[in-house]
Chain A
């Protein structure tokens, strides 16, 4: 049995806006093991990023608030952790990389300066020591002539290089846990493959845990050990990656998998799930997926489905089982 590094229990995040309360995350739970890559999968607006930001305590308050649940990291509840303590955890123990590296890097400083700043924020090293370390990190994420690149400003680098620099920056203090928020969305296919490869290698060499947020199931099969499928702020299904892709139980999951284009078969039209994600300030009753589900029953409109264990590691929130 592997050690659990992060445990999210019944997390509920609400945004209190002028138009009403938005239930961005509505009671999700999952455990992350040491050295494991957990994928959070779901459509836009299903609460993936909010979950990630909650872990780091970066939900803007007001309007957002964690109303329930706990996030246990190393036995410490991050939702109740004092701000100063949390600040030292951010970046040092839990680091995050963002979707758009272009806007996630400060445009007025060189890549090297930004990484050095990050290192010296958390570790007691000299300027030169930090610089050497920064160049080493740039090399580790596969940037050619890292010494030169360290002196470049973000706008002088290509999208893929920027994303790698961002990864190098987040790795600078040897975090235990890396949260990657759609790091491959803003880059093209070849770079995407490279980024995945880098993350996979880092996971192996550093024994690092990764929470990988994405909406592409194709990527999940390449990097994920376990998958949590989210729908409208709730967990729909959770299972080991290979099992989930082969044997999806939830209608939403199987819908998502059918949406994947398959180049071995010539199809006229790509499948899609009808309808849109329900608005989270006025959700439908019962199972949130029922308006779009082709196997919906009467009970689906009345009751929220309880978790059903398919096997030891596979559970699904659906009335069908």
Chain B
């Protein structure tokens, strides 16, 4: 009885997918409206992006993956042959756990404590000249690392581990959100452009060319100048300018797909243009999308780090670029402040690249390793 009723409901809304999507999306819209019309903010703008992308990922990635477990298993067997990709995947999972669970165990990354400044990481010790007030002379003092601050502290006494954990969250947020926006936009523009062809194709691709030549850094400086530095703006600007490469790749792939007979067959059986784009073309380029997304995350993470490094980042969050910036000012004494986030950035970028390469090889039917 209940099942019958559920089936009827599913039939009306159109699939379990939509049954989940509709309430989630309306919930999201409701919170957004509440947030706008009440004085107390519930989430930051970034929080909304997060929830929105989370819903999209749940519906269009997690659910289909769960439905085709056999296929996922098949590709996992292929990815598994590439050891570097597996290591990279492990590192990314570690990073996600660090960003999610880390803040529960570490101190406040912004807490300043001048009593405990310039402490090196555990296992290291540095010599420091300290002004002695009574004698009026500089004396040499040795400072060694303690377990209280496993990675040491910076020149304001902030715990480096806590900063690192916070930075991991920022990097992942920016990387995933900006890439999500860029890839979604790029895919849509690429597929529509290739499918409709003719004038639409020409206009969209010329627009892409213009966007490619547009200096996004300048735009970012401009936006920071007008609206003030905010992580949400940085994410939006990177996302709204970074889709061009994706659009071109997807377009060229779709151009060969759209002449295939199954597109004509879908039309002959009465599918609309929107349906052909979303239900026939996009699923056929999904492997390309996954690879492009994975390979463009490191670029976005580096872009955000670079922005923070030159002081255009959001000052209210501790990102890796910002720690680097703090560290390079006193590289001679507190070298670890710059080295630790630098190494983390290096490893993160490497890990995403390895996973991207592994996925590309796994999805490519020609490279039967």
- Chain A residues engaging chain B, CB cutoff 8 angstroms: 56, 58, 62, 87-92, 95-96, 98, 100, 103-109, 117-118, 120-122, 124-129, 166, 169-170
Contacts and interface: CB of A to CB of B under 8 A. Distances in A.
A98 B7 CA distance: 33
Contact of A90 (B260, B261, B262, B270): B270
B265 A96 contact: yes
Given A90-B267, A95-B268, A106-B262, A126 B7 contact: yes
A25 B33 CA distance: 58
A305 B213 CA distance: 62
Nearest to B275: A121
A107 B8 CA distance: 29
Contacts of A89: 270
B237 interface: no
B279 A117 contact: yes
Contacts of B226: none
Given A98-B264, A107-B284, A125 B11 contact: yes
Contacts of B10: 126-127
Contacts of A166: 265
B265 A105 contact: yes
A122 B271 CA distance: 9
Nearest to A121: B270
B265 A104 contact: yes
B311 interface: no
Contact of B264 (A58, A118, A122, A170): A58
29 contacts: A90-B267, A90-B268, A90-B269, A91-B270, A92-B270, A95-B269, A96-B268, A98-B264, A98-B268, A100-B261, A103-B260, A103-B262, A104-B262, A104-B264, A105-B262, A105-B265, A106-B280, A107-B262, A107-B284, A108-B284, A108-B286, A109-B283, A117-B279, A121-B270, A121-B271, A125-B11, A126-B10, A126-B11, A128-B11
A23 to B, nearest CB: 22
A148 to B, nearest CB: 14
Interface residues of B, number: 26
Contacts of B14: 120
Contacts of A58: 264, 267-268
A91 B11 contact: no
A106 B266 CA distance: 9
A182 to B, nearest CB: 12
A249 B55 CA distance: 68
B345 to A, nearest CB: 36
Nearest to B260: A103
B194 to A, nearest CB: 14
B199 to A, nearest CB: 11
B92 to A, nearest CB: 26
B45 interface: no
A172 to B, nearest CB: 8
B359 to A, nearest CB: 17
Interface in B8-26: 8, 10-11, 14-16
B270 A88 contact: yes
Contacts of B271: 87, 91, 121
A86 to B, nearest CB: 9
A56 B260 contact: no
Contacts of B284: 106-108
A122 B11 CA distance: 13
Interface string B246-285: 0000000000000011101111111110010001100110
Nearest to A117: B279
A120 B275 CA distance: 12
B348 to A, nearest CB: 32
A98 B15 CA distance: 29
A126 B15 CA distance: 9
Contacts of B279: 117
Nearest to A128: B7
B261 A56 contact: no
Given A127-B10, A128-B7, 11 more contacts: A89-B270, A90-B268, A95-B268, A96-B269, A98-B264, A106-B266, A108-B283, A122-B270, A126-B8, A127-B11, A128-B11
A86 B114 CA distance: 76
Taking each of B7, B15, B270, B271, which has the highest tally of chain A beta carbons within 10 Å of its own beta carbon?
A: B270
A129 B11 contact: yes
B270 A170 contact: no
